[in-house]
Amino acid sequence: MPGKNPLFSEPLHVGRPNLGDRTRLLSRFEDLLDRQWLTNDGPYLQAFEAAITECLGVRHCVVVCNATIGLQLVIRALNLQGEVIVPAFTFPATVHALALEGATPIFCDVDPNNHSLDPREAERLITPQTSAILGVHLWGNPCAVDALDDLAKRRRLRLLYDAAHAFGCSHAGRMIGNFGDAEVFSFHATKFLNSGEGGAIVTNDDVLAERLRRLRSFGLHQGEVVQLGTNAKMTEFCAAMGLTSLESRELFIERNRENHAAYQSALAETSGIRVLFPEQNAGNAQYVVVEVDAQQAGITRDDLCRALHAENVLAKRYFWPGCHRMPPYARVFEATGRRLPHTDRLCERLLQFPTGCSVSHLDIARIGNFLQGLVARLRRAA
Contacts to ligand T4K by CB under 6 A: 13-17, 66-68, 90-91, 93-94, 136, 162, 164-165, 186, 188-190, 199, 314, 318
Taking CB atoms, the residue at the shortest distance from ligand T4K is 15
- Cα-to-chain-centroid distance, residue 75: 18
Examine residue 179 and say whether the peptide bond preceding it is cis (omega within 30 degrees of 0).
Answer: no
- CB 353 → ligand T4K: shortest distance, Å? 12
CA–CA dist 287, 60 (Å, integer) = 27
- CB 89 → ligand T4K: shortest distance, Å? 10
- CB 238 → ligand T4K: shortest distance, Å? 11
DSSP 192: S
CA–CA dist 287, 139 (Å, integer) = 6
CA–CA dist 124, 189 (Å, integer) = 37
E strand segments, the chain: 12-13, 60-64, 83-87, 104-108, 130-136, 158-162, 170-171, 174-175, 182-186, 199-203, 220-221, 224-225, 273-275, 288-292, 313-314, 350-353
Tell me the HSE value of 121 on the side-chain side, using a 13 A CA sphere: 22
Of 67 and 304, the one with the shorter C-beta distance to ligand T4K is 67
- CB 282 → ligand T4K: shortest distance, Å? 18
How many helices (H) and strands (E) in the chain?
A: 14, 16
Strands 199-203 and 182-186: antiparallel
Of 16 and 325, the one with the shorter C-beta distance to ligand T4K is 16
- CB 135 → ligand T4K: shortest distance, Å? 11
Query: 18 with 193: CB under 8 angstroms?
Result: yes
- CB 369 → ligand T4K: shortest distance, Å? 23
CA–CA dist 176, 169 (Å, integer) = 6
- CB 139 → ligand T4K: shortest distance, Å? 9
Of 68 and 203, the one with the shorter C-beta distance to ligand T4K is 68
Of 17 and 180, the one with the shorter C-beta distance to ligand T4K is 17
